[in-house]
C-alpha cells in the first residue's frame, strides 16, 4: 500500500488540533471560570472532526458514501461555527448579540435542512466521483453532481458569520492597546481569512465554477494556531501574574510585619479605613493603642466607641472633613482604655488610593502621646509653680509662653503677651544679644544681668534676667528667666542703711574697735583707733600696729596677745596695757580680744575692743589715796578711843620693869646678894621691855601713814595680833573672847594694817554691843575658815543686841551709827577697805542673840591650795 501524504497530513492536523483542544479542556476543568478555554476545546474538536471528514471525502470511492460523509460533516461544522461565535464573544468581549445569534441560527437552520434533503444540503444529486491527481502523484476524489437548492442558505450563513467576525475584529481593533489590536489581527484576521476562503471556495466548487476537492478546511488549522497562541500567551501571563501576585503577597506580608514591628517599636500604630465598605484595618500597635483587641473586625463605630466620650464628636467631624476635602487631618484625642485608664493619642491621616487602585481609603498613623502629654503637663505645672518669672521666646523672638509669676510681676494677662516682643516687659532684654546671632551663640547667654523691667502700669520693676537657649518643639527657642528683685533691692538698701548705721555706731564709740588678720593687718577699725594713731580709717586698713606705733615693746605685746587669742580660740581680757599715741603720749587701755572663728573652726581674724582707761586709772589712784587717808583717820580715831586700854597695856610691862628694878636694888643692898635672883630679875626686865616695845610698835604701825602694799599674810596671826591689842580693853569691858581658827589656812593677799583695822573695828563694835548684858554672858568669838572660792572668811560673833535694821548691810552705809559719840564712819571705811581687797563684807543676826560680821579676803595667788 502506498503511503498517502494527504492522509498523514490531515491526520496530523486533526491530532494537533485535538491535542490543543484537550490542553484547553484541561485548563478549563481546573479553572472553571475560563469559558473561553472550553469554547476553544469545542473549536479544536470540531476542526479535528471536520479534517477527518474531509480526509474521508478525499478518499471516497462511491458517490453515495461521499454524500453521506458530506452530510454528517455538517455537524462538526455547526459545532465549529457555534463555538467560534461563543469564543469570540467571551474572549474578545465584542460582537453584537443579534449577529451572533443570526450566525448560529442560520447555520442551525442549514444543519436541519441538510438532514432534510438527499443526499445533503450541498448537492441535490451526486452523479459520479471523479479522480484527480494532486501533489506527489496522489489521487483524490472529487464529486460531480447537481448543486443543492438550499446551498445558498449555507452560503448565507457563512456570510453572516463573516459579518460577525468582521464586526468583532473592528470593535477589538478600535479599542486600541497593543494586546487588543494583536488579538484582533491574529484571531479576527485568521477567522476572516479562513471563513472567507472556505465559503468562497465551497460556493465556487458547488456552482461548478471551479473544480477541486474540499481540502481548504485544512486552513482551519490557522484559526486553531492563532487562538492557541493567544490562549497560551494568556496562560503564560496568568502564570507570571500568579507568581508576581504570590511574590507581592509575600512582600506585603513582610512589609506588614515590618510595619508592625517598626510601629510597635516607635509606639506608632498604623491604620486604614475603607470608608466605602466601613472596614478598618489596624496594626497590632494601633489595636493595642485603642484597646481594640488583637482580633476581630473593626468599623468606624467601634473605633469611635474606643475614644473618650468627650472627644468622639470632634474626631468624627475632623475625619469627615478630611474625607470631604481630601486634606490631611491631625487630631489629638483621648482614648478610654478598657482598664479605665485614659491615654492621649495623636492621629494623622489623609485620603489615599486603596491597595487595588480604584477605591479610596483613609490611611494614617496614631501615636500614644500620654507620656509626652504628661511630661508637658508636668513641665507646665513646674513652670507655673516656679517662683521666678519664666518666658519662652520662639525662633522669631516672640513670646510663646509665660508663667503666672510674670503676670503677677508685670500686671499683664497671659493672652496680652503671647506673640508680643519681650521688649514689652524688659525693654533692654535683647540689646546685649546681637540679633543676627543664632540663638545660643551670644556670650551674654546664661549670665544673669540686672535690668529694669516695665510694669503694665508704667513703673519700673527691678529684675534679674537670665537668657538660655533651649531646643523647643519648633527649633531653637530662648528661655528667659525674670526674677523680680524689688524685694531684694529693698533688702539691700535696708542692709546698706543698717550697715552705715552700724558704721556710725562703731565710729562714735569712744572705745577702740578693731579687727586684725593673722598677719596683724587691720581689717576693721573705728574712728577712735584712727584718732590714737593720728591717721584715717582708710589709711589704717591693711596696715599693722608697727606702721603707726613707735614703741616696739607695745607692738610686740599686742602681737603676742593677738596670736594667743587666735591660737587658743579663747577670748582674753587684758586689764591694762599701755599704748603710745601719735603725739608720744601713753594711754592706758583695757582690752578684750575675741577670736573670729570661721567655718573650719579656725580663727583667721580677731576682734578687739579697747577702752581708754587712762582717766579712770588716774581717778582710781586718787581714790585709793583718799581711802587710805580715810582709813588712817579712822584708825587714829579708833586708837584714841582705845587709848585708855592701850595705856594699861603699856603700863603693865613698864610697872613690872620698875618693880623688878626696885627689887634688884634691894637685893644688891643686902649683905649677901643673891646674884642668881638678880640675874632672873634682869632677864624679866628685858622681856617686859620687849613686850612694851611690841605694843608701841603695833601702835606705830596702825598710826603710820603713807605707802601701803599688799603682802602674803597668815590670817590667824592677823587675828592674834588684833586680840593682843584689844586684850585689856575687853578685860575692862568684861568680855570673854575666844577664837575658832581653822588650821593650815593658806596665806591671804592683803594690806596687813588695813585688815587689822577692820578686825579691830568689828571687835570693838561687838564689845560695845554687849555692854547692856550681864558680864558672864559677854562673849566674843573670832573665827577663820577657807571658803570654796579661794577666799578666807573671817567672822566676829557676839551675843549683843544684834542689828536692829531690816537690812543688816545698811550698817555699812556711811554715817550709820547706834553710838551716841560715833561718827558712823567705821563700818563704811571697813567696807571700802575690804572691797579694795576684792573681798566682800556683810553682817547678819544670830539665831539666838547677837550679830555676826563676816568678811572675805582672797587667798594669795601663790599660796592657793
Partner 1 sequence: MKGAETLQALPVVTIIDDDVSFSKALVRLLTAADFSVATHCSAQDFLAQYDPDIPGCLLLDLAMPGLNGLELQDVLTARSSCLPIIF
Q: List contacts with partner 1 (CB under 8 A).
A: 648, 652-653, 655-657, 659-660, 662-664, 666-667, 670, 677, 681, 684, 687-688, 691, 728, 731-732, 734, 736
Comparing CB distances to partner 1, the nearer of 453 and 653 is 653
Comparing CB distances to partner 1, the nearer of 603 and 692 is 692
Of the candidates 335, 321, 313, 323, the one whose C-alpha atom is nearest the C-alpha of residue 274 is: 323
Of the candidates 367, 308, 375, the one whose C-alpha atom is nearest the C-alpha of residue 342 is: 308
Q: Rounded distance, CA 469 to CA 464, Å? A: 17
Comparing CB distances to partner 1, the nearer of 244 and 680 is 680
200 and 220 in contact (C-beta within 8 Å)? Answer: no
Comparing CB distances to partner 1, the nearer of 655 and 742 is 655
* Least distance between partner 1 and beta carbon 851 (Å): 24
474 and 398 in contact (C-beta within 8 Å)? Answer: no
Q: Rounded distance, CA 534 to CA 541, Å? A: 14
* Least distance between partner 1 and beta carbon 818 (Å): 26
* Least distance between partner 1 and beta carbon 772 (Å): 18
Comparing CB distances to partner 1, the nearer of 272 and 649 is 649
Comparing CB distances to partner 1, the nearer of 190 and 728 is 728
Comparing CB distances to partner 1, the nearer of 608 and 653 is 653
DSSP assignment letter at 309: G
* Least distance between partner 1 and beta carbon 702 (Å): 22
Comparing CB distances to partner 1, the nearer of 557 and 731 is 731
Q: Rounded distance, CA 418 to CA 400, Å? A: 5
314 and 329 in contact (C-beta within 8 Å)? Answer: no
Comparing CB distances to partner 1, the nearer of 666 and 704 is 666
Comparing CB distances to partner 1, the nearer of 382 and 665 is 665
Terminal Cα distance for the chain, rounded: 172
- The phi and psi torsions of 714 (rounded to 5 degrees) equal -85, 115
Comparing CB distances to partner 1, the nearer of 524 and 656 is 656
* Least distance between partner 1 and beta carbon 643 (Å): 15
Q: Rounded distance, CA 358 to CA 361, Å? A: 10
| Angle at the Cα of 746 from the Cα atoms of 744 and 751, rounded to 5 degrees | 130
The C-alpha cell that represents 601 in the structure block: 573652726
Neighbours of 838 (CB within 10 A): 12
* Least distance between partner 1 and beta carbon 779 (Å): 12
Comparing CB distances to partner 1, the nearer of 360 and 779 is 779
Beta-bridge partners for 365: 270, 348
The C-alpha cell that represents 608 in the structure block: 578687739
Beta-bridge partners for 126: 145
Beta-bridge partners for 783: 740, 795
Beta-bridge partners for 271: 282, 364
DSSP assignment letter at 2: P
Q: Rounded distance, CA 510 to CA 526, Å? A: 9
* Least distance between partner 1 and beta carbon 590 (Å): 54
* Least distance between partner 1 and beta carbon 710 (Å): 36
Comparing CB distances to partner 1, the nearer of 723 and 792 is 723
Q: Rounded distance, CA 334 to CA 847, Å? A: 98
Comparing CB distances to partner 1, the nearer of 495 and 658 is 658
* Least distance between partner 1 and beta carbon 652 (Å): 5
Q: Which residue is listed with cell 494614617?
A: 364
Q: Rounded distance, CA 269 to CA 29, Å? A: 45
Tell me the Ramachandran region of residue 744: left when phi exceeds 0, alpha when psi lies from -120 to 50, beta otherwise.
left
Q: Can you give the length of the chain in residues?
A: 865
* Least distance between partner 1 and beta carbon 670 (Å): 7
Of the candidates 735, 733, 702, 706, the one whose C-alpha atom is nearest the C-alpha of residue 718 is: 702
3 state SS for 364-424 = EEEEECHHHHHHHHHHHHHHHHCCCEEEEECCCCEEEEECHHHHHHHCCCHHHHCCCEHHH
Comparing CB distances to partner 1, the nearer of 681 and 834 is 681
SS3 705: coil
Comparing CB distances to partner 1, the nearer of 466 and 734 is 734
* Least distance between partner 1 and beta carbon 784 (Å): 23
* Least distance between partner 1 and beta carbon 737 (Å): 10
* Least distance between partner 1 and beta carbon 709 (Å): 35
67 and 127 in contact (C-beta within 8 Å)? Answer: no
Neighbours of 748 (CB within 10 A): 28
CA 154 to chain centre: 102
Comparing CB distances to partner 1, the nearer of 235 and 663 is 663
* Least distance between partner 1 and beta carbon 738 (Å): 12
Of the candidates 734, 753, 763, the one whose C-alpha atom is nearest the C-alpha of residue 642 is: 763
Comparing CB distances to partner 1, the nearer of 505 and 658 is 658
Tell me the Ramachandran region of residue 267: left when phi exceeds 0, alpha when psi lies from -120 to 50, beta otherwise.
left
* Least distance between partner 1 and beta carbon 864 (Å): 39
* Least distance between partner 1 and beta carbon 730 (Å): 9
Beta-bridge partners for 349: 329, 364
* Least distance between partner 1 and beta carbon 777 (Å): 14
The C-alpha cell that represents 736 in the structure block: 570673854
Instruction: Kindly list the distances between the CA atom of residue 648 and the CA atoms of 690, 699, 767, 780, in Å, as whole numbers in the listed order.
Output: 16, 13, 18, 21
366 and 339 in contact (C-beta within 8 Å)? Answer: no
Q: Which residue is listed with cell 466607641?
A: 305
| Angle at the Cα of 448 from the Cα atoms of 443 and 454, rounded to 5 degrees | 110
* Least distance between partner 1 and beta carbon 640 (Å): 19
Amino acid at each position: 500500500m502506498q503511503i498517502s501524504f494527504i492522509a498523514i497530513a490531515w491526520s496530523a492536523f486533526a491530532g494537533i488540533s485535538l491535542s490543543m483542544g484537550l490542553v484547553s479542556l484541561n485548563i478549563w476543568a481546573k479553572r472553571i471560570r475560563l469559558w473561553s478555554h472550553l469554547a476553544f476545546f469545542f473549536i479544536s474538536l470540531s476542526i479535528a472532526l471536520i479534517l477527518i471528514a474531509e480526509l474521508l471525502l478525499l478518499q471516497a470511492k462511491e458517490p453515495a458514501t461521499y454524500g453521506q460523509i458530506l452530510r454528517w460533516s455538517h455537524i462538526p461544522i455547526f459545532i465549529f461555527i457555534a463555538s467560534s461565535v461563543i469564543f469570540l464573544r467571551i474572549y474578545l468581549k465584542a460582537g453584537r448579540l443579534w449577529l451572533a445569534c443570526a450566525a448560529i441560527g442560520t447555520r442551525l437552520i442549514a444543519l436541519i435542512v441538510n438532514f432534510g434533503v438527499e443526499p445533503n444540503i450541498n448537492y441535490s444529486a451526486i452523479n459520479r466521483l471523479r479522480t484527480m491527481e494532486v501533489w506527489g502523484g496522489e489521487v483524490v476524489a472529487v464529486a460531480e453532481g447537481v448543486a443543492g437548492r438550499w446551498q445558498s442558505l449555507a452560503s448565507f450563513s457563512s456570510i453572516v458569520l463573516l459579518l460577525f467576525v468582521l464586526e468583532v475584529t473592528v470593535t477589538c481593533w478600535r479599542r486600541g492597546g497593543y494586546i487588543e489590536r494583536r488579538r484582533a489581527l491574529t484571531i479576527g484576521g485568521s477567522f476572516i481569512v479562513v471563513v472567507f476562503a472556505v465559503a468562497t471556495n465551497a460556493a465556487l466548487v458547488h456552482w461548478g465554477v471551479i473544480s477541486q476537492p474540499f481540502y481548504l478546511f485544512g486552513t482551519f488549522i490557522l484559526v486553531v494556531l492563532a487562538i492557541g497562541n493567544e490562549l497560551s500567551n494568556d496562560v503564560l501571563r496568568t502564570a507570571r501574574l500568579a507568581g508576581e501576585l504570590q511574590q507581592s503577597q509575600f512582600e506585603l506580608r513582610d512589609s506588614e510585619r515590618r510595619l508592625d514591628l517598626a510601629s510597635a517599636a516607635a509606639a506608632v500604630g498604623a491604620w486604614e479605613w475603607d470608608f466605602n465598605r466601613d472596614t478598618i484595618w489596624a496594626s497590632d500597635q494601633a489595636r493595642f493603642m485603642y484597646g481594640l483587641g488583637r482580633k476581630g473586625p473593626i468599623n468606624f463605630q467601634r473605633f469611635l466607641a474606643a475614644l473618650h466620650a468627650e472627644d468622639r464628636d470632634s474626631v468624627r467631624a475632623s475625619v469627615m472633613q478630611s474625607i470631604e476635602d481630601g486634606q490631611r487631618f491631625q487630631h489629638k484625642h483621648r482614648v478610654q482604655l478598657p482598664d479605665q485608664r485614659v491615654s492621649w493619642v495623636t492621629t494623622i491621616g489623609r485620603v489615599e488610593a486603596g491597595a487595588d487602585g480604584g477605591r479610596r481609603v483613609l490611611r494614617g498613623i496614631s501615636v500614644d502621646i500620654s507620656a509626652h502629654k504628661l511630661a508637658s503637663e508636668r513641665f507646665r505645672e513646674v513652670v507655673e509653680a516656679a517662683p521666678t518669672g519664666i518666658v519662652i521666646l520662639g525662633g522669631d523672638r516672640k513670646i510663646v509662653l509665660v508663667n503666672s509669676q510674670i503676670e503677677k510681676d508685670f500686671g499683664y494677662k497671659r493672652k496680652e503677651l503671647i506673640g508680643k516682643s519681650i521688649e514689652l516687659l524688659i525693654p533692654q532684654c535683647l540689646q546685649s544679644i546681637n540679633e543676627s546671632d543664632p540663638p545660643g551663640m551670644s556670650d551674654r547667654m546664661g549670665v544673669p544681668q540686672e535690668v529694669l523691667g516695665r510694669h503694665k502700669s508704667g513703673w519700673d520693676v527691678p529684675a534679674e534676667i537670665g537668657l538660655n537657649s533651649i531646643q523647643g518643639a519648633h527649633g531653637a527657642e530662648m528661655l528667659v528667666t525674670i526674677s523680680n528683685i524689688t524685694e531684694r533691692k529693698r533688702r539691700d538698701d535696708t542692709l546698706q542703711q543698717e550697715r552705715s548705721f552700724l558704721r556710725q555706731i562703731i565710729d562714735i564709740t569712744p572705745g577702740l574697735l578693731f579687727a586684725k588678720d593673722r598677719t596683724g593687718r587691720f581689717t576693721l577699725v573705728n574712728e577712735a583707733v584712727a584718732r590714737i594713731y593720728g591717721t584715717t580709717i582708710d589709711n589704717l586698713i591693711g596696715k599693722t600696729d608697727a606702721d603707726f606705733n613707735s614703741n616696739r615693746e607695745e607692738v610686740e605685746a599686742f602681737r603676742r596677745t593677738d596670736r594667743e587669742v587666735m591660737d587658743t580660740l579663747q577670748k582674753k581680757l587684758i586689764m591694762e596695757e599701755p599704748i603710745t599715741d601719735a603725739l608720744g603720749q601713753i594711754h592706758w587701755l583695757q582690752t578684750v580680744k575675741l577670736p573670729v572663728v570661721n567655718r573650719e573652726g579656725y580663727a583667721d581674724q580677731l576682734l578687739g575692743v579697747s577702752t581708754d582707761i587712762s582717766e579712770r586709772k588716774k581717778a582710781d589712784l586718787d581714790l585709793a589715796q583718799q581711802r587710805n587717808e580715810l582709813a588712817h583717820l579712822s584708825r587714829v580715831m579708833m586708837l584714841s578711843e582705845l587709848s585708855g586700854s592701850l595705856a594699861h597695856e603699856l603700863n603693865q610691862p613698864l610697872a613690872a620693869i620698875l618693880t623688878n628694878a626696885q627689887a634688884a636694888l634691894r637685893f644688891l643692898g643686902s649683905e649677901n646678894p643673891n646674884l642668881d635672883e638678880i640675874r632672873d630679875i634682869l632677864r624679866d626686865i628685858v622681856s617686859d621691855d620687849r613686850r612694851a616695845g611690841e605694843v608701841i610698835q603695833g601702835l606705830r604701825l596702825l598710826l603710820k601713814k603713807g605707802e601701803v602694799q599688799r603682802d602674803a599674810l597668815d590670817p590667824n596671826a592677823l587675828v592674834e595680833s588684833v586680840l593682843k591689842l584689844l586684850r585689856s580693853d575687853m578685860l575692862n569691858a568684861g568680855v570673854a573672847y575666844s577664837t575658832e581658827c581653822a588650821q593650815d589656812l593658806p596665806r591671804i593677799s592683803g594690806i596687813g594694817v588695813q585688815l587689822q583695822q577692820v578686825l579691830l573695828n568689828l571687835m570693838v563694835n561687838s564689845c560695845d554691843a554687849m555692854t547692856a548684858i550681864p558680864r558672864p554672858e559677854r562673849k566674843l568669838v573670832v573665827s577663820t575658815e577657807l571658803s570654796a572660792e579661794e577666799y578666807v572668811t573671817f567672822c566676829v560673833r557676839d551675843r549683843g543686841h544684834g542689828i536692829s535694821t531690816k537690812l543688816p548691810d545698811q550698817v555699812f552705809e556711811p554715817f550709820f551709827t547706834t553710838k551716841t559719840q560715833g561718827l558712823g564712819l567705821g563700818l563704811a571705811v571697813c567696807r571700802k577697805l575690804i572691797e579694795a581687797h576684792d573681798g566682800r563684807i556683810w553682817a547678819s543676826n544670830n539665831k539666838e542673840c547677837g550679830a555676826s560680821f563676816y568678811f572675805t579676803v582672797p587667798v594669795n595667788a601663790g599660796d592657793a591650795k
